[in-house]
Amino acid sequence: MRAVDIIADKRDGKELTGEELGFLIGGYTAGQIPDYQISAWAMAVFFRGMTSAETAALTRVMLGSGAVIDLSGIPGPFIDKHSTGGVGDKTSLILAPLAAALGIRDPMMSGRALGHTGGTLDKLESIPGFRTNLSVGEFRSILAKDGFAMTGQTREVVPADRLLYALRDVTGTVESIPLITASILAKKAAEGAEGLVFDVKYGSGAFMKEASQGEKLARSLADTGAAMGRRIIALLTGMDEPLGNMVGNFLEVEESLDCLEGAGVRGRPGPEDLMEVTLELGARMAVLGGKAKDAAGGRALCEDCIAGGRPRELFLRNVKSQGGDPVKLLELRGNWRSPVGAEIRVPPGAGESAKNGVSGAPLYIRRIDAWKVGNAAVALGVGRNRTEDPVSPTAGIQFHRKRGAPVKAGDPVMTVWSATEEGLAAALPRLEAAVEYGAEPPSPQKLVLKEITAGPAAAGPDASTGPAEGGR
């Protein structure tokens, strides 16, 4: 085989075999095929796409480039969840102990914040002492004991993905759906998951801005995962607004604890949008894990489980297992914030043009733009623009009112905490601009748009693109 022939075949729209992909990716990982040839191949894939079978073959090749975590000897089922990234999305922190309480083991390999999206590892590491750099032995031991374990990707797991992603990042090929699919699924298969629930987000705060883009990625993940023998369910969910009332690393840990104590469930005050998405994802994990026959039954099971308190117990037990201090966590809860702060209130004259000059007319929050909030959060110190950037555990935003809330001038909308004065000065105008007011309440918004499983709709080459793995 010659790399140039494989590149030319893909350039001409031909379907590559597993052997050809193995030669290409294996040669690149071994340093025998240069960057410029892989760049040419990636651009050909960007424009020509891949069939489901071809994407599955690429995923297997990438999976085989490194270590696969061996979970033999630990009773399953092993079901994980993956999100394509959003603002305020802390569902993994709630779902992992919830699944464990249902008798499902969740081997969760997560990522860090990058750009405007948050990272599960950064949130967990805001807990004093919590470790996410687990060895394989530690990962297995904690998974067996607690029912879930949270770790980051090691250098030994899917090294081909690490090399290929870095190259795609500088060659304009990040947005290829087949390459995104292979990147995500190879890492998830390496952690040992037998079934996967994908939360594919679309909207201003997601990498996929349009629902149609998100659906193409969801179908690619479902079809390719099925071709690899994994049980897959994908949910297409909205990310036009931040999820929940907290954005920030330790703040989101606190909100996760609130949810594990029942907030937002069955009429109890709390972040109903966050719990709606969490419970729908948990319902599908229950179905894939054989604990429920359908999503409705799975959701009821999840609600009962949270009400019983077992997921909270497992969350705190896992904190201790991974080196954290659960007593310190509970002591800091509600008190640990960055010293630099401010409050954003409804400004005088907000929404005047929408009220047509009618004095005293009602005013509503019509939208809080998730993308603007996410970028402001980076300025505050919550996230990072480069992988080596540090993050603050205590910076963040708490929303007091969100979409659809009736307001008047002077009402508090959010409290903001920053790691630095400069960060606060940069973030405040972005946050003020993120809030849209109007004389009419917004129409009801469906957070979970649809469920997608493997099927004929995704058959054939898919050259569709949409940004990045994101993902937690």
Q: Contact, 248 vs 417, CB < 8 A?
A: yes
With bands split at pLDDT 50, 70 and 90, how would you rate the model's confidence at 172? Answer: confident
Structure tokens at 26: 């294996």
Residue 464: the pLDDT is 46
**35-49, 284-298, 351-365, 458-472: the lowest-pLDDT one:** 458-472
Structure tokens at 311: 């997921």
Look at residue 467 and tell me whether its pLDDT is greater than 60: no
**113-117, 358-362, 384-388, 443-447: the lowest-pLDDT one:** 358-362
249-273: string of b/e by CB count within 10 Å (b at 16+)?
bbbbbbbbbbbbebbbbeeeebbbb
Among 122, 330, 368, smallest CA distance to 244 is for: 368
Among 184, 197, 169, smallest CA distance to 56 is for: 184
Q: What is the arithmetic mean of pLDDT over 268-281? A: 94
With bands split at pLDDT 50, 70 and 90, how would you rate the model's confidence at 369? Answer: very high
CA–CA dist 128, 47 (Å, integer)? 46
Q: Contact, 85 vs 470, CB < 8 A?
A: yes
**35-44, 203-212, 406-415, 424-433: the lowest-pLDDT one:** 203-212
Q: What is the arithmetic mean of pLDDT over 108-116? A: 79
Look at residue 359 and tell me whether its pLDDT is greater than 70: no
Among 33, 1, 36, 4, smallest CA distance to 20 is for: 1
CA–CA dist 20, 210 (Å, integer)? 34
CA–CA dist 470, 195 (Å, integer)? 20
The tens digit of pLDDT for each residue in 18-54 reads: 999 999 999 999 999 999 999 999 999 999 999 989 9
140-171: string of b/e by CB count within 10 Å (b at 16+)?
bebbeebbbbbbbbbeebbbbbbbbbebbeeb
Look at residue 61 and tell me whether its pLDDT is greater than 70: yes
Q: Is 20 left (phi over 0), alpha (psi -120 to 50) or beta?
A: alpha
Task: Write a three-state SS string for the chain.
Answer: CCHHHHHHHHHCCCCCCHHHHHHHHHHHHCCCCCHHHHHHHHHHHHHHCECHHHHHHHHHHHHCCCCCCCCCCCCCCEEEEEECCCCCCCHHHHHHHHHHHCCCEEEEEECCCECCECCHHHHHHCCCCCCCCCCHHHHHHHHHHHCEEEEECCCCCCHHHHHHHHHHHCCCCCCEHHHHHHHHHHHHHHCCCCEEEEEEEECCCCCECCHHHHHHHHHHHHHHHHHCCCEEEEEEEECCCCCCCEECHHHHHHHHHHHHCCCCCCCCCCCHHHHHHHHHHHHHHHHHCCCCCCHHHHHHHHHHHHHHCHHHHHHHHHHHHCCCCHHHHHHHCCCCCCCEEEEEECCCCCCCCCCCCCCCCCEEEEEECHHHHHHHHHHHCCCCCCCCCCCCCCCEEEECCCCCCEECCCCEEEEEEECCHHHHHHHHHHHHHHEEEECCCCCCCCCEEEEECCCHHHCCCECCECCCCCCC
Look at residue 331 and tell me whether its pLDDT is greater than 80: yes
Peptide bond into 412 cis (omega under 30): no
Task: Give the list of residues 6+ apart from residue 83 with CB closer than 8 angstroms, or none.
Answer: 89, 91, 92, 198, 199, 201, 470, 471, 472
Look at residue 82 and tell me whether its pLDDT is greater than 90: yes
Residue 461: the pLDDT is 47
* Percent of the chain clearing pLDDT 70 (strictly above): 94
Q: Contact, 207 vs 84, CB < 8 A?
A: yes
Look at residue 466 and tell me whether its pLDDT is greater than 70: no
The tens digit of pLDDT for each residue in 142-154 reads: 999 999 999 987 7
Residue 130: the pLDDT is 97
Residue 470: the pLDDT is 47
With bands split at pLDDT 50, 70 and 90, how would you rate the model's confidence at 58? Answer: very high
Mean pLDDT of the chain: 91
Query: Which segment, 156-165, 238-247, 346-355, is predicted with the most confidence on average?
Result: 238-247
With bands split at pLDDT 50, 70 and 90, how would you rate the model's confidence at 268? Answer: confident
Point out the residues that are catalytic. 82, 161, 168, 183, 187
Radius of gyration, CA atoms only, the chain = 22
Residue 465: the pLDDT is 46
Q: Contact, 274 vs 285, CB < 8 A?
A: no
Among 389, 260, 382, 234, smallest CA distance to 326 is for: 260
Residue 174: the pLDDT is 81
First-to-final CA distance of the chain: 37
Q: Contact, 254 vs 333, CB < 8 A?
A: yes
Residue 110: the pLDDT is 83
CA distances from 198 to 73, 83, 259, 277, 278 (A): 26, 6, 21, 12, 12
**Beta pairing class for 148-152 and 396-399:** unpaired
The tens digit of pLDDT for each residue in 187-209 reads: 889 989 999 999 999 999 988 89
Q: For each of the domains in the chain, give its residue range(s) and CATH number, in order of start.
A: 3-48 (1.20.970.10), 79-333+449-458 (3.40.1030.10), 340-438 (3.90.1170.30)
